[in-house]
Structures are given as structure tokens and as C-alpha cells.
Structure 1
Amino acid sequence: MGILSGNPTNEPMHYGEVFGLWTFVTTAKGLVAGYQTQLNHAGDEDLHKLLEEAIAGGKQEIQQVETLLKENGVGLSPTPPERPKACLEDIPNGARFQDPEISAALSNNIAAGLVTCSQIMGQSIREDIAMLFGQFHVQKAALGAKALRLNKEKGWLIPPPLHHHKSEDC
């Protein structure tokens, strides 16, 4: 039996795993606070539901990763306070985030989260950590598919120039 065989929860985390998990949970806390604020700005009901799903998923991820960090004696980053609810009409038009902007930011964050989950999975030597972030990856991919569908349905998706390749007959 090797040094890292057996129950992975009995194995120490290496520095890359500690840093990856700590950074992930710190970022997730900031994203949840940001999404709570964006809820106040979102006028579209479907976007509102997607933000609520992102918040719930983020809170679940935070709880799971914080538990893992605590079990391994790693100090936690501070959690921002819950954001208060505000009435959309109370936010001046020029100061409001528009629905397409919120949706684009959410889509970007989901894409970055997928990369982060893949990176943590790739650097992990503890199977429990790799499996946890594999689950997060699948959940983020599903949320990303919903965001893509919403962006298409609402006309918020701005595609880059499309490439139409025509082969020439010689």
C-alpha cells in the first residue's frame, strides 16, 4: 500500500488542493453576494429564476467546500453579508444593470467556474476532492445550458461574426 492509498478523507491535502479550494470558496461567496444584488436589478422573471438557482447552487458548494476545509484545519475567508431585497422601480434607470448584462455576466461566471472545477479536478490527488468538483462541474454545465437557452430565447446572445466557408471547385 502506498502513502496515499486507502480512505481519501484520511489523506492530507497538498498545498495546491488547499489553495484551489480556499480560492474557489472565496470566489463563490463573492459571486453569491453579487447575484443577490443582481436579483434586485433583474426585470425578467426567467432570469430571476436562473439567478436564484445560481445562488442556491453557490451556497451548496460553499457549504460543502467549507466543511472540507474545516475538517483539514484550513481557516475560512469571511462571508459577505446577505444582500437586502430592493424594489426594481427604486433603482434609477441609468444606475440599473440591464437583463442582458446580468445574463452575460452570469454566463461568463459559469464558464470560468467550469474551468476552475476542471483545474481543481486535474491537480487533485485525493479522489474525494476530484469527485466533488466533478459533481460541481456537471451542475455548472447544466446551469450554463440553461443560461445559453435563455440568452437565445430572449435575443440577448450576441454571436461573434459567423464563418461561412465555401469550398471552391478546382
Structure 2
Amino acid sequence: MSFIDKILKNKQNNNKNKALHHGEIFELWAHLVSRYDVLKKTQILFSYAHDPDFKMIISEGLDILESQIDELEDIFKEYSIPLPDRPPADVTSSSSSNPLWSDQMIYREILNGMSQFLDTHVRTFKFLWNDELRPVIVRFLKKEVDLYDDLMKYGKLKGWLNMPPKPEKSNN
């Protein structure tokens, strides 16, 4: 083991139980509250979806959201941060036949929400100085990027993306 590795290992062991700073607590709090909101909205959108394949994709996303929420809640408990109010376990709509919510519209809502959450993951990562917590957010970000990429491919397959027109060939 190199000299610098020994120093870093010793320092890391000494800082293992170091308290979080206010900015880290705020970002983690905002991240968890946002995840709660996304979970609630996705559950509602799921109840209006019709396409079986699309419902399966949304269901997988809900499982990932629940898993990430559980992991964030565990971090809050570990650092003795009070948890925000969690929404009810199931907020699905009682009516799944709303003509205003087509699968294409639901798809775009979810894709847009994921796009915005990519920024949320990056912002949270930038505020975390804690060496144990940054990898958690990096893992969330990587998962979100992978899911976003898959959802883009699915949207292209279904024809649900508003693709910009292709440039016309010039005669020059």
C-alpha cells in the first residue's frame, strides 16, 4: 500500500461518521422529496396507460423509484435526518379510461420528467462532499441515463417522439 493510500485510508476511517453539512442535507432532502413526487405522478400515469408493453416499462420504473427511495430513506436514518412525509403507498386513479391521457402523452410526460431528473442527480452530486454518498447519486444517475436511453428507443419504435424534420438536400 502506498504512502498516500495509507493517509487516505486513515483519514477516511476518521471521517466515516462525520456529520453532513447543511447543503448536503438540503440536497438530499430535495432529492428524496422529488423522488416521492415522481413516484406519485408515475403511479397516476401508470393507471391511465393502455399498451401492455408500455405498462411493463412503467412498472419497472416504479420498482426502481421505490428502490432508490428506500436507499435514500436508509441514508436519512443513518445520519439521523428526519424524513419528509411520504405519499400514500398507492395513489393510482380509480378510473383508467381518461381520454385526455393517451399512451403517447404519458410517454412524453415520463420522458420529460426523466430528462429533468438527470439535472437533479447532477446538482445533488455537485453538492455532496461526503465520499460515501456521492457514489449513491452516481449510481442513480447512471441508472437514469440507461433508462432514458431505453425509453428514447422505445418511443422511436412506437412513433411517440416528435421528431424534427430531416433537412432537405440542397441543390448546391
The correspondence for 1:83, drawn from 91, 94, 99, is 91
Post-superposition CA distance 1:91-148 (Å, at most 9, x none): 242xx41111111111111111211111111221111111000100111111101110
Report the Cα distance in structure 1 between the residues aligned to 2:16 and 2:59, rounded to whole angstroms: 32
Verify: 1:6 aligned to 2:15, yes or no: no
2:3 corresponds to which residue?
Answer: none
- Structure 1 stretch 134-143 or stretch 115-124: which is displaced more? 115-124
2:70 corresponds to which residue?
Answer: 63
Unaligned runs of 5+ in 1: none
- Structure 1 residue 39: Cα displacement: 1.3
1:133 corresponds to which residue?
Answer: 137
1:41 corresponds to which residue?
Answer: 48
1:153 corresponds to which residue?
Answer: 157
Report the Cα distance in structure 2 between the residues aligned to 1:17 and 1:9, rounded to whole angstroms: 15
Report the Cα distance in structure 2 between the residues aligned to 1:16 and 1:54, rounded to whole angstroms: 28
- Structure 1 residue 162: Cα displacement: 4.8
Report the Cα distance in structure 1 between the residues aligned to 2:169 and 2:120, rounded to whole angstroms: 34
2:106 corresponds to which residue?
Answer: 102
Unaligned runs of 5+ in 2: 1-6
Report the Cα distance in structure 1 between the residues aligned to 2:86 and 2:17, rounded to whole angstroms: 28
Verify: 1:21 aligned to 2:28, yes or no: yes
- Aligned-residue CA RMSD (Å): 2.4
Determine helix, strand or coil for the equivalent of 2:132. helix
2:120 corresponds to which residue?
Answer: 116
Report the Cα distance in structure 2 between the residues aligned to 1:9 and 1:33, rounded to whole angstroms: 34
Aligned length in residues = 163
Report the AA paired with residue 132 of structure 2. Answer: D
Q: Report the TM-score when normalising by structure 1.
A: 0.84
The runs of at least 4 consecutive aligned structure 1 residues that moved more than 6 Å come to none
